[in-house]
């Protein structure tokens, strides 16, 4: 009978992460697992999703990928599991750790839950990203779990963009950039830029302009069957750059187009609790669920 397999993803140059990794690997191996290790400093490039070199070519044979780190490390793990049926289990060693399921002090319990297969699997929507550049014979394809962001590369001046939904013109303006996010990414870069929080079961694409010089430049959400297309217009004084999940980038010369649409292939996350998303928001953002009047009344009792 072959051994059960687990891939552990962490950052080799972070002492706290390496200590947690040694602890997790020891417990997993003691339970009979074959454990592989991957350093999240390695990354794929935009358009390389089908040819990315993995530490373990049999990642698809793993039961789960255990991630020790922050959301950035989880996004690296997503590069490894994208296109497979392997779920990600995140143990937060960073700050907010919105994508993580457990905290550092819960590591031993999380490992035991993996050993006992005591977890559920949740699907998180992904967007597919297609880039067409002038003088390039073929479009390039990528994807994002959180967001695809178009931004100006030099600091001076703005980029001029045109936005279409389902190939119908919507608006054009000068701006610092455009964020196109999933529901998962609505609590990341898009949230910092003033976009709304979307519950994970909301399908579609959230569009958030960055410092737009326009009257109609509010965040909007398009439906799950729609595609958002952004063009770096010919009149733009600057080229742009596309970044997916803060990791995979590609230059966008003037005249380039980026089309973002919901993907039919989700990413999988292992969940140790059935707590609703509302509770996760309250916990991760330390939201005040008790008003000062209620707190004062309880203190006087």
Question: In sequence order, what are the residues at sequence separation of 6 or more whose Cβ sits closer than 8 angstroms to the Cβ of residue 10?
Answer: 17, 18, 20, 21, 37, 38, 39, 40, 67, 68, 69, 73
With cut-offs at 50, 70 and 90, classify the pLDDT of residue 268: very high
Catalytic residue among 40, 48, 71, 118: 71
Run of H or E including 250: strand 248-252
The confidence score (pLDDT) of residue 51 equals 39
Residue pLDDT, tens place only, 115-171:
999 999 999 999 999 999 998 889 999 999 999 999 998 777 899 999 999 999 999
State the pLDDT at residue 55.
Answer: 46
How does the average pLDDT of the chain come out, rounded?
89
Q: Are strands 5-10 and 34-39 parallel, antiparallel or unpaired?
A: parallel
Q: What is the pLDDT of residues 24-79, one digit of tens each?
A: 999 999 999 999 888 766 556 676 644 344 444 568 889 999 999 988 899 989 99
* Whether 150 contacts 242, CB under 8 Å: yes
Q: How far apart are CA 38 and CA 54, in angstroms?
A: 8
In tens, the pLDDT along 224-253 reads 999 999 999 999 999 999 999 999 999 999
128 touches 261 (CB < 8 A): yes
Joined together, the tokens standing for residue 132 give: 């067409």
Q: At how many degrees (to 10) do helices 15-30 and 107-115 cross?
A: 30
Beta carbons within 10 angstroms of residue 181's beta carbon: 29
Nearest to 119 by CA among 64, 177, 197: 64
Residue 17, pLDDT score: 85
Q: Is 118 a catalytic residue?
A: no
Interatomic CA distance for residues 298 and 270, integer angstroms: 38
pLDDT at res. 293: 62
pLDDT of residue 284: 84
Q: What is the full DSSP assignment across 166-232?
A: TTEEEEEEEESEEEEE-TGGGGTHHHHTTPPP--TT--SEEEEEES-BSSS---EEE-TT--EEEEE
Position 54 scores a pLDDT of 46
Cβ contact 131:242 at 8 Å: yes
Instruction: State the pLDDT confidence band at 300, using cuts at 50, 70 and 90.
Output: low
Q: Which residue would you say has higher pLDDT here, 181 or 283?
A: 181
């Amino acid at each position: 009978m072959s051994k059960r397999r687990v891939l552990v993803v962490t950052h080799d140059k972070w002492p706290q992460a390496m200590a947690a990794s040694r602890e997790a690997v020891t417990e997993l191996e003691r339970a009979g697992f074959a454990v592989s290790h991957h350093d999240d400093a390695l990354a794929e490039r935009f358009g390389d999703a089908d040819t990315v070199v993995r530490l373990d070519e049999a990642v698809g044979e793993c039961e789960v990928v255990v991630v020790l780190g922050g959301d950035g490390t989880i996004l690296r793990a997503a590069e490894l599991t994208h296109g497979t049926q392997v779920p990600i289990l995140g143990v937060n060693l960073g700050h907010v750790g919105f994508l993580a399921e457990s905290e550092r002090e819960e590591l031993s319990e999380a490992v035991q839950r993996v050993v006992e297969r005591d977890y559920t699997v949740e699907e998180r929507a992904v967007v597919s990203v297609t880039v067409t550049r002038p003088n390039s014979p073929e479009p390039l394809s990528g994807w994002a779990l959180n967001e695809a962001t178009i931004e100006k590369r030099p600091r001076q001046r703005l980029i001029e963009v045109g936005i279409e939904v389902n190939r119908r013109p919507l608006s054009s303006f000068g701006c610092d950039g455009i964020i196109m996010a999933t529901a998962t990414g609505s609590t990341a870069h898009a949230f910092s830029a003033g976009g709304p929080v979307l519950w994970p079961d909301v399908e579609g694409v959230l569009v958030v302009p960055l410092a737009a010089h326009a009257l109609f430049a509010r965040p909007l959400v398009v439906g799950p069957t729609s595609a958002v297309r952004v063009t770096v217009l010919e009149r733009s004084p600057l080229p742009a750059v596309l970044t997916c999940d803060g990791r995979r980038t590609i230059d966008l010369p003037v005249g380039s187009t980026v089309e973002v649409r919901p993907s039919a292939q989700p990413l999988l996350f292992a969940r140790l609790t059935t707590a609703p998303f509302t509770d996760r928001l309250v916990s991760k953002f330390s939201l005040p669920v008790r008003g000062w009047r209620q707190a004062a009344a309880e203190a006087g009792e």
